[in-house]
């Protein structure tokens, strides 16, 4: 009896276990089926997003290609329209539209807007190419807008300041290359419309403005020029001769911050010796101004005009060839360039500021105003550096004028404002803080551009990867205004390209 009970109990337990196992299996099967369903959903979603991404990329690539094609058409049409002289706005607009239509060989649906005024030709073209995968993104087209503008061709005179590095490192072949390139540039400038003027500003530590002038100079502070100090001191009488030795010394010579190579020379050093005071000897010291100009302080070194603060003369300094203000005597300019000499170190702010002053119709060179009275029309107001001043305009009936500066240097800035003049004022450029000179140069460059002057910069054989090169590149009105020639041929080409840019109709943006 007990055996049958155990048997029944065992059977019951086996039956319960089987049912539990079945339930576990069913649940596991259901879970597996659910997981497979989730994976299928996730896979479908992922594939859909991938397809949308591929479609968007394809549409974007097509749009970029279309945009580039349209931009080429718009630029060509604007340049052609801007080159038309002696025709009214309606005629120019008609020609621009014809050019756009002529390029539209695919029959694209274009919305064309042309605006022509006295100063420039503006063109915008809109197109909305269909989206190949628009049904997936609910976006049926990709809107495009391209635009361009160019100044209208006119007999616009140019005022150009040539600011040329004549420091010690420019001696020899470098100077000859610059003279050739500059002479060729002057030949091209002479061909430009009447009213074109050029100034030439050689610079090193200082700029030489000349000691004489045919016009008054109320803005000039000559300090103690011509004054005499009498200096007395006991004469030193040798009682025991010093011991002197001469040795050969080899070292690397640097001039104007540039490596000039290894040189060997004899050096004599003396030590010992005794001296006694003799009778007092007096000598007269006469302070002399040779035309060199120092710098104003308290924020005035970075501005161009007088503003009631006179420009200080740098006494007892020599600074090379005297600058030539704006003029049109190109024979005299070529003669000046051929006679340039080299000396001194590099102080970039000096050249930048005095080149700027020759272009500004205010003191110290107000005669530039009487030469034009014009409105500055920047060649490239839409530059990478934020533009360079006033936009094109009629200027209340005043004649148009392009003002530009070509700033050429081969040296690393190695000077700064430091050193007192005979009156005790810190106005000289005898400091060695090259970075301070660079920082001031950067500010002056920005102010020049904001004054509406196109700034071309030529860094001739300047060592790469230096703070000076970076500053010079940022100084230019745009990347297209910056040149880094490495030999005489490239320097000549850079100057020629500047001349072409000054005389050509150009895209503004």
- Which one, of 377, 401, 387, lies nearest residue 477 by Cα? 387
Q: Considering the domain boundaries, does residue 87 fall inside one?
A: yes
Q: How far apart are CA 90 and CA 242, in angstroms?
A: 91
Q: Considering the domain boundaries, does residue 171 fall inside one?
A: yes
Q: By the 8 A CB rule, do 419 and 412 touch?
A: no
Q: What is the CATH number of the domain that holds 414?
A: 3.40.50.410
Tell me which of 113, 132, 151 is where a domain ends.
Answer: 151
Q: How confident is the model at residue 107, as a pLDDT?
A: 82
Tell me which of 151, 175, 196 is where a domain ends.
Answer: 151
- Whether residues 199 and 79 fall in one domain: no
Q: What φ, ψ does residue 270 adopt, rounded to 5°?
A: -125, 145
- Whether residues 107 and 85 fall in one domain: yes
Cα 137 from chain centroid (whole Å):
44
Domain limits at 315?
Answer: 158-224+289-503
Q: How far apart are CA 147 and CA 67, in angstroms?
A: 10
- Whether residues 69 and 31 fall in one domain: yes
Cα 496 from chain centroid (whole Å):
18
Report field, pTM of the whole predicted structure over 0.75: no
- Whether residues 175 and 91 fall in one domain: no
Counted domains in the chain: 3
Q: Considering the domain boundaries, does residue 49 fall inside one?
A: yes
| Mean pLDDT per 10-residue segment, the chain (509 residues) | 43 46 51 54 63 60 80 88 85 92 84 90 86 58 84 82 95 96 97 92 97 91 94 91 90 67 87 90 94 94 92 94 96 98 94 96 74 46 37 40 93 89 88 94 96 96 81 94 96 96 71
Q: How confident is the model at residue 135, as a pLDDT?
A: 54
- Whether residues 45 and 135 fall in one domain: yes
- Whether residues 141 and 168 fall in one domain: no
Q: Considering the domain boundaries, does residue 8 fall inside one?
A: no
- Whether residues 247 and 141 fall in one domain: no
- Whether residues 35 and 162 fall in one domain: no
Q: How confident is the model at residue 40, as a pLDDT?
A: 61
- Whether residues 297 and 387 fall in one domain: yes
- Whether residues 238 and 114 fall in one domain: no
Q: Considering the domain boundaries, does residue 54 fall inside one?
A: yes
Q: Considering the domain boundaries, does residue 7 fall inside one?
A: no
Tell me which of 130, 151, 172 is where a domain ends.
Answer: 151
- Whether residues 355 and 327 fall in one domain: yes
Q: How confident is the model at residue 374, as a pLDDT?
A: 45
- Whether residues 445 and 471 fall in one domain: yes
- Which one, of 370, 353, 352, lies nearest residue 361 by Cα? 370
Q: How confident is the model at residue 303, as a pLDDT?
A: 92
For the range 481-487, what are the long-range contacts, defined as Cβ-Cβ under 8 Å and sequence gap of 24 or more? 481/380, 481/383, 481/454, 481/455, 481/456, 481/457, 482/456, 482/457, 483/456, 483/457, 483/458, 483/459, 484/458, 484/459, 484/460, 485/458, 485/460, 485/461, 486/461, 487/177, 487/461
Strand 120-127 to strand 111-116: parallel, antiparallel, or no bridges (unpaired)? antiparallel
User: What is the crossing angle of helices 173-189 and 488-503, to 10°?
Assistant: 20
Q: Considering the domain boundaries, does residue 3 fall inside one?
A: no
Using a 10 angstrom Cβ sphere, with 0-12 exposed, 13-18 middle and 19 or more buried, the burial of residue 475 is buried
Q: Considering the domain boundaries, does residue 18 fall inside one?
A: no
Q: How confident is the model at residue 156, as a pLDDT?
A: 79
- Rounded to 5, what percent of the chain is helix, strand, coil? 35, 25, 35
């Amino acid at each position: 009896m007990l055996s049958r009970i155990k048997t029944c109990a065992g059977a019951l337990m086996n039956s319960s276990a089987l049912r539990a196992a079945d339930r576990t299996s069913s649940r596991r099967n259901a879970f597996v089926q659910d997981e497979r369903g989730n994976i299928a959903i996730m896979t479908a979603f992922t594939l859909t997003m991938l397809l949308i991404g591929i479609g968007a990329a394809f549409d974007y690539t097509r749009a970029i290609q279309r945009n580039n094609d349209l931009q080429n058409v718009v630029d060509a049409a604007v340049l052609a329209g801007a080159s038309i002289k002696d025709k009214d706005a309606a005629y120019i607009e008609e020609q621009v539209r014809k050019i756009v239509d002529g390029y539209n060989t695919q029959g694209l649906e274009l919305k064309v807007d042309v605006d022509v005024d006295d100063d420039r030709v503006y063109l915008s073209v809109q197109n909305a190419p269909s989206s190949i995968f628009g049904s997936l993104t609910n976006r049926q087209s990709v809107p495009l807008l391209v635009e361009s503008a160019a100044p209208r061709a006119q007999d616009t005179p140019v005022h150009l300041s040539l600011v040329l590095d004549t420091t010690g490192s420019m001696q020899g072949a470098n100077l000859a290359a610059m003279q050739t390139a500059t002479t060729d540039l002057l030949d091209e400038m002479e061909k430009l419309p009447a009213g074109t003027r050029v100034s030439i500003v050689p610079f090193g530590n200082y700029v030489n403005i000349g000691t004489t002038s045919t016009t008054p100079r109320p803005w000039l502070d000559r300090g103690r020029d011509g004054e005499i100090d009498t200096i007395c001191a006991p004469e030193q009488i040798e009682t025991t001769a010093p011991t002197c030795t001469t040795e050969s010394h080899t070292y690397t010579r640097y001039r104007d911050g540039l490596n000039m190579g290894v040189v060997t020379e004899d050096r004599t050093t003396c030590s010992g010796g005794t001296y006694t005071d003799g009778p007092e000897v007096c000598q007269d010291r006469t302070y002399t101004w040779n035309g060199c100009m120092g710098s104003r302080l308290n924020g005035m070194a970075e501005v161009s005009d007088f503003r009631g603060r006179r420009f200080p003369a740098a006494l007892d300094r020599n600074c090379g060839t005297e600058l030539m203000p704006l003029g049109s005597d190109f024979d005299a300019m070529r003669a000046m360039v051929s006679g340039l000499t080299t000396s001194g170190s590099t102080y970039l702010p000096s050249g930048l500021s005095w080149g700027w002053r020759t272009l500004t119709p205010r003191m110290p060179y107000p005669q530039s105003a009487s030469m034009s009275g014009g409105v500055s029309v920047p060649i490239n107001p839409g530059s990478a550096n934020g533009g360079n001043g006033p936009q094109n305009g009629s200027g209340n009936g005043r004649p148009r004028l392009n003002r530009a500066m070509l700033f050429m240097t081969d040296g690393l800035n190695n000077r700064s404002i430091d050193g007192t003049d005979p009156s005790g004022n810190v106005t000289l450029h005898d400091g060695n803080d090259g970075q301070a000179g660079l920082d001031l140069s950067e500010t002056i460059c920005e102010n020049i551009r904001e004054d509406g002057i196109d700034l071309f910069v030529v860094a001739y054989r300047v060592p790469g990867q230096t703070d000076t090169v970076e500053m010079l590149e940022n100084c230019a009105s745009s990347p297209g205004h910056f040149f880094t020639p490495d030999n005489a041929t490239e320097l000549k080409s850079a100057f020629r390209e500047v001349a072409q840019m000054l005389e050509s109709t150009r895209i503004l943006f």
